[in-house]
Each structure stands twice: as structure tokens, then as C-alpha cells.
Structure 1
Amino acid sequence: MINNKNSGLKLLMTMLLVLSTSACSIFSPTPEISNAEACVRLNELIADHANDFKQYKKSLKNTAPLRNMQIWNAERVFPLAQNCQVWQWSSGLMNYFCAWDESGKEDAQASFDKGAEIINQCLGKKWHSKFTRTQSGGGSALFYQAGVKTIISIRYFKEARTILDSWKTTLYLGDESNLKAEVQ
């Protein structure tokens, strides 16, 4: 009987150890990406746009209700980004998109400013930038090259469809024609 108690205790301790290790990996923060690493990844992502972001696509999400598009989870390539995805529209256009919540306007603007600075540092002199204000009091930066279809956009804005003071920052890389939607 003592042997069974010891075996049961060992099994219980092993299970607790496995659970605690799993919990740590679930709740551990996403590893940071340095600015230099972000530049390498961002330029690789730009190059992979022509290949429909094959290098960055992960699992395909169930998009049955959205018959006009497919969505894949995607690898994060930018230091601030969260919830990254690759979207394929029924027209065949592809884009890489990340969105993350901010705790307020100041944090959203700081995230935007840092992101725009990193993007600007990563891109060569052939790239141009255009900064504008959004309708919600946020900001938008568009990075583009003359005659090239791939653009990069980072913006921060207050969500319009909520009674809360909810701010978001987004990163977009893809075809310019997908950005024709009205900016919040």
C-alpha cells in the first residue's frame, strides 16, 4: 500500500510539473524582435508579397461565412505587431495584416510613431512616405515606391463602433487597391 501511495504521489507530481510547464509556455510573453531583425523580416515580407506570402502563412482559418476571402494565421515580423494574418481576397489580391489593441490614445500614438520610425529606417531611399490624420484623431503613414504595387501602411485610430475609448494600431503590407476603404 505504501508503494501505491508513492506511485500515486509521483504521478501527481509529474502531472503538476507538466501542467505548470505548459501554463508557463501559454502565458509567457511573445519574444521581442529587435529593430535590426524587424528590418530583415520586413524586407523579406515585402519580397514574399509576390509569392502570396507563402513563407509567412500558417494555419488556414475557417472563413466559411466570408465566401469572398481566405484568412491564414501568420508569423509576426514586426516588433509591436500582434494578431497577424494573411488575407486572400476573391479578386486574388493578397495582404499581410496585423492589429493590436492599445490602452489609450497616447499608447496608440507611441506605438504608431515607433512603428513608422522602424519602417522608415528599414526601407531604402526608393521608398516615399505620406502621413495623414484619421477621422478619429489618429494617424496614418503610407510607404510606397513609384510603379510598385506593394505598399506598407501603419495607422492608429479610435474604433468607431464602440462606446468605449478603444484604440487600435494596425500594420498592412500588400496591394494598394485593398486600401481604398475609408480610414477611420
Structure 2
Amino acid sequence: MRFARPLSLVAVTLMGLSGCSSLQQLTAGTDDVCGGLQQLIADYDTGFSSFRGKGTTMPLSTVYDAKIELVHRHCQIWNWGAGDSVYLCSASDPDIEVAKQRHQQSLTSVRACLGPDWREEGDWRERNGQTDGYASRFRSADTNAVVSIQTAVQTTGPRRRYTNFLYIGDEARSSSLGTQQ
């Protein structure tokens, strides 16, 4: 599998690691974000077994601390058994402008890390017949893994909440990010 290896500085903006001081400051969890992303994609077929830390077992899944965190203290590996695992980083945003900024910065970084062998598609997310955000998905003929940057809005509760996701896993689970109420 071939990946572009740009300067790590380009990737540091993943999930909006830089930005205005009014938002929750996110930091990279590794010195080489692009290398970490590439290693995670390469380990997808083993359920990210090389990157699983301490696990918490729940009735239908196990959630592991990620040994490589592309976004410090915001990433986990979820496993439902039978090879069904995802790597997921998420961060809440105070408003739509911050969510859009982080989405765009994340896209720029992921594009640079993945390189030209990956095909990008974007589409609006829908839940209950209403648009609830935007998803950008990257696919390559070299792997079954989908890399996705998504921004979701949750309208339940006293105010709207915005969340950005970085996802590595299969297509089906990618479509359900942020749909839990």
C-alpha cells in the first residue's frame, strides 16, 4: 500500500489542532500524524490489534484506549467482535463555525497524508429525514478501510451540539456516526 509522506507539520492541523483560542485546544497525540494514520490503516484488517490499549467490556462491544492517538485524549478503538472494529477520534465544538473550521482543517490534512491513490467522496449526512451534518469519505483499492471526516449536529437537548469525527473502519459503521441520541 502506498501513501504520501508529507511533512508532519501539514498533518498537525488534523481535527483543528490549531485555531482560535476560544475553542477547546486539541493537540496531536503523536509526532508523526501521517505515519500514525498510515499504520492504523495498515492494521485495519486485524481490528487494530497492534494499537489496542486497556479495554472496557460492555454488553455488545469492547472499547479500547488507542495506543496511537492522532488527536490526544480523543481517540478509541471500538470492537464488536468478528473482525468488526473501528478507530474513532471525536471532539465536540462550541458552535457551527468551529465545527466547519475543524472539518476543513482535517480534510486538508487527511488529503495530504493519504495521497493520490485515495478517492474522496463527500455527502450530506441524514437522520430521520433531516440533514444533520456532512461526511467526507476516502477509499483506496489497496484496503477495505474507509477513512472519514464527519461533522454532525445533534439537536436534542437545550442547544445544538456539534461534533467532528475522524473515523477508520468499514463503510456501514461510518454512516452511523453521531446518530445516538
Q: Give the aligned partner of residue 24 of structure 1.
A: none
Q: Give the aligned partner of residue 141 of structure 1.
A: 136
For the residues of structure 1 that align with 2:160 and 2:25, how far apart are their CA atoms? 26
8 Å contact from structure 2 (residues 147, 169) kept in 1: yes
With CA pairs under 8 Å and 6+ residues apart, which has the higher RCO, 1 or 2? 2
Q: CA deviation at 1:183?
A: 7.2
Alignment match of 1:74 (pick from 66, 76, 94): 66
- Determine which structure has the larger strand proportion and give its number: 2
1:82–1:166 CA distance, 2 compared to 1 (3 A): farther
Structure whose alpha-carbon radius of gyration is higher: 1
Q: Give the aligned partner of residue 112 of structure 2.
A: 121
Alignment match of 1:38 (pick from 33, 36, 50): 33
Alignment match of 2:121 (pick from 121, 130, 152): 130
RMSD: 2.8
Q: CA deviation at 1:179?
A: 2.7
TM-score (norm 2): 0.72
For the residues of structure 2 that align with 1:165 and 1:174, how far apart are their CA atoms? 27
Farther-moved stretch of structure 1 (173-182 vs 98-107): 173-182
Dislocated runs of 4+, deviation >6 Å: none
In structure 2, stretches of 5+ residues that fail to align are 1-23
Q: Give the aligned partner of residue 76 of structure 2.
A: 85
- Determine which structure has the larger helix proportion and give its number: 1
For the residues of structure 2 that align with 1:97 and 1:34, how far apart are their CA atoms? 13
Q: CA deviation at 1:181?
A: 3.1
1:174 equivalenced with 2:169 (yes/no): yes
For the residues of structure 1 that align with 2:178 and 2:91, how far apart are their CA atoms? 17
Q: Give the aligned partner of residue 19 of structure 2.
A: none
